[in-house]
Structure 1
Amino acid sequence: MYSVTRLLVIICLIFGSSSLHAQNTNNNSLEIGLLGAGDEALYYGAYSKYIMPLSQKKHPFTLAFSLVAYFDFKGESEPDAYLKNDIDMRLIPTMNIGYALNFNKIQLHFELPIGATFALTKGTLVNERVGFERGFSNKEIFFNYGLSFSPKYRLNNSNSLGLYSFFPFTSDKAQSGYQIGIGWTKTFVNSVDKE
């Protein structure tokens, strides 16, 4: 874990220093939105992402940090038992390395998110055949990576609307699965760019 943390800090320092130079043309932005997710069950949630361009080119590489949270309130069931009054939550922090294609009002953003999935399930486990009820809690952590694609329509210099999608390269017991949503992006425009 220490080596992973050290690697992430080094990458952030290298790309962060590049992003300071890129502030004149391409600006940092914050993206927030709502999404649906999951493979077997449908989860509802939200996401946020802070995006930093790494160059002043028209089509820059980017570095982003994102946090996705989604929930399922439907009880899980097995042949002999089921959960009632449960909540099933996923919290997914990632670091995203990406590439942005910019055309007049359209931006196509491709990213490779790498991070972790924190899965939490709490509820009451019920087995009617045996006749018991007891509290149930399960916490799991999984490595998570995949491909993210976000087409955006630029409304003006500082606001965009777009779609968000994530397709995992791994499958885990937590059924983290696909994510599809809609989002708003606020670009932090420099005073020079406003003129």
Structure 2
Amino acid sequence: MYSAIRIITIIGLLSMSNTLYAQKTNNSSLEVGVLGAGDESLYYGGYGKFIVPLSNRTSHFTISFTLTAYFDFKGESEPDAYLADDIDMRIIPTVNFGYSLNFNKVQLNFEVPVGLSYAHTKGTLINERIGFERDYSNNEVFFNYGFSFSPKYKINNSNSIGITTFLPLIKDKAQSGYQIGIGWTKTFANNVYKK
């Protein structure tokens, strides 16, 4: 009888420790990256994203907070005038509601970013035909939302590298367009995908 109790206790402890070790725990992560963006011309910039998982399941819902900034230093032109020495900037803070689908080494993230797009343009407006030149500055703020897809490859338990894409579902006057970039993700606590 004593041997049977010992065997049952050992089997129970082993299965319980194995279950605890195999449990997946999701932790918050920070992602930074570089991107290209735009509709009418190519912009260059970067982004930072703080991601919070909403459950401990392998595939789970997430909420994240992103700040994106990109720039265009090429002067814009129209038939009679052009903008020289300009800076064309977009700053886009968003809250992203998403779902993370996880496999062994691959993570697929689907998100709906909702936020604002701040557009700032500054330069010198020139019309050579009539000899006109003056300083130009314009600021606009727009509501911004769309769809984002970001596949990632897990290098280890706390680091991933991936591609991020964003397709706006609204067209604004400043043409805050699509975005595509590459990013590195650092997950806090090092126990995201234990096996």
Q: Under TM normalisation by the shorter chain, which class is it?
A: 0.7 to 0.9
Alignment of 1:56-95 (within 5 A): 56-95=56-95
Instruction: Determine the structure 2 residue equivalent to 1:25.
Output: 25
Q: Please say which structure displays the higher CA radius of gyration.
A: 2
Query: Which contiguous aligned blocks of 4+ residues in structure 1 show a shift greater than 6 angstroms?
Result: 191-195
Find the counterpart in structure 1 of residue 109 from structure 2.
109
Structure 2 partner of 1:178: 178
- Superposed CA deviations along residues 142-177 of structure 1, whole A, max 9, x for unmatched, are 100000000000000000000000001001111111
- Which SS does the other structure have where 2:177 is aligned? coil
Percent of residue pairs bearing the same amino acid type:
69
Partner of 1:52: 52
Kept after mapping to 1: 8 A contact 2:63/2:95: yes
1: CA distance, partners of 2:113 / 2:130: 44
Unaligned runs of 5+ in 1: 1-23
Distance 2:34 2:120 in 1: 20
Q: 1:98 to 1:116 in 2, by over 3 A?
A: same
Task: Give the aligned partner of residue 142 of structure 2.
Answer: 142
Partner of 1:122: 122
Shift of 1:60: 0.8
Q: Distance in 2 between matches of 1:114 and 1:43?
A: 21
Tell me how many residue pairs correspond in the alignment: 172
C-alpha contact (below 8 Å) 1:29/1:50 kept by paired residues: yes
How many Å apart are 1:192 and its aligned residue? Answer: 9.9
Q: CA RMSD in A?
A: 1.6
Query: Structure 1 residue 96: deviation in Å?
Result: 0.2
State how far apart, in whole Å, the 2-side matches of 1:130 and 1:30 are.
52
TM-superposed CA distance for 1:190, in Å, is: 5.3
Match of 1:154 in 2: 154
Tell me how far apart the structure 1 counterparts of residues 166 and 99 of structure 2 sit (CA, whole Å). 15
Counterpart CA distance in 2 for 1:143 and 1:191 is 37
